[in-house]
Amino acid sequence: MKEEDIEKIADKVAKILKGGGSQNKPEIKVTMGSAGKVFSEPVFKSESKNRYSESTEEKNTCGPSCQECNPLNNFTSQQIKNMGVERVSFCNPNDRSCQIASMIDHTLLKADATQEQIGKLCEEAKKYHFASVCVNPGYVSLASKLLRGSGVKVCTVIGFPLGATTATIKVIEARDAIANGADEIDMVINVGALKSGNDKLVFEDIKSVREATIGKVLKVIIEAASLTDEEKVRACELAKRAKADFVKTSTGFGPGGATVKDIMLMRKVVGSEMGVKASGGIKNAESAEEMIKAGATRLGTSASISIIKGKNAGKGEY
């Protein structure tokens, strides 16, 4: 899409939103904090007495020539910083990890995910130093307990996966998640409203969640595979005007995942002041590298370990 076309759509969005603020809407007051509280104790069995064992395998040094990290380890720390990445870390000499791990939201959002699987997800995130774990709201409290003091953030999803609930419900979900320990919120826009041309509703939806999540990272999922290029531009522009922190390609449950073309378009619309999260269908190091080069500053995937080891995703990873 041409630059002038993007500017025309942005101007159109601005005109639609002019005078469409939410100052006359009643304030939504919610005091929550109950989700996941049934998980008061660790509910999974560790793979060993000491997860971070002193085995010979774990002591292998991961350096610039490490084949496990190839090709992503070819990026220098300065190159990654120049891409706009907010979090950068180097390979931990005790783990087969790499710089790219700090860009990954280690994800498990399947409806049948068990407590034991969430426990394993958190152990992996600590071991490989991922940016966050991304789990459904019911597991936020558990993940928060398991990751306390690790430096790994807890991310969750709201209005997920359809985005078709009301702003009030999304605000309640967001506040409840934060009360339970969430650091980052990934919200799904009202895709149907966007496709209907009701940009005011979409904007108010995002803005309401933004106001409920001040101080936390807010990522806006536009479900790009369901949209035309013009709709993608409008969605990104609305998220930008609502002061979200990221725009995100996909839920992973829609008709398609992240594409290089969509990442490039989204980056062009939001500029350098916002993050772009590529999510859905990132199954190996090569595809992750392509997304980063296109402008992604965060990756959402369940194939995280395969990616940083330069392998293809295993069965069931997406």
Residue 145 contacts by C-beta under 8 Å, 6 or more apart in sequence?
A: 39, 42, 181
Is 23 a domain residue? no
Catalytic residue among 126, 219, 277, 309: 277
The rounded mean pLDDT for the chain is 83
Is 40 a domain residue? no
Among this protein's residues, is 170 annotated catalytic? no
Is 34 a domain residue? no
Residue pLDDT, tens place only, 271-283: 999 999 999 999 9
Among this protein's residues, is 277 annotated catalytic? yes
**Number of folded domains that form the chain:** 1
Task: Give me the domain span that covers residue 119.
Answer: 3-15+64-308
In one letter, which amino acid is 155? C
CATH number of the domain to which 85 belongs: 3.20.20.70
Please report the pLDDT score of residue 166 as a whole number.
98
Ranges assigned E (strand) in the chain: 104-108, 132-135, 153-158, 184-188, 217-221, 246-248, 275-279, 298-301
Is 105 a domain residue? yes
Catalytic residue among 207, 219, 240, 248: 248
In the chain, % helix, strand, coil (3-state, to 5) comes to: 40, 10, 50
| pLDDT tier, 310 (very low <50, low <70, confident <90, very high otherwise) | confident
Is 20 a domain residue? no
Catalytic residue among 95, 105, 183, 186: 186
Among this protein's residues, is 248 annotated catalytic? yes
pTM of this structure? 0.78
Neighbours of 132 (CB within 10 A): 25
Residue pLDDT, tens place only, 223-233: 999 999 999 99
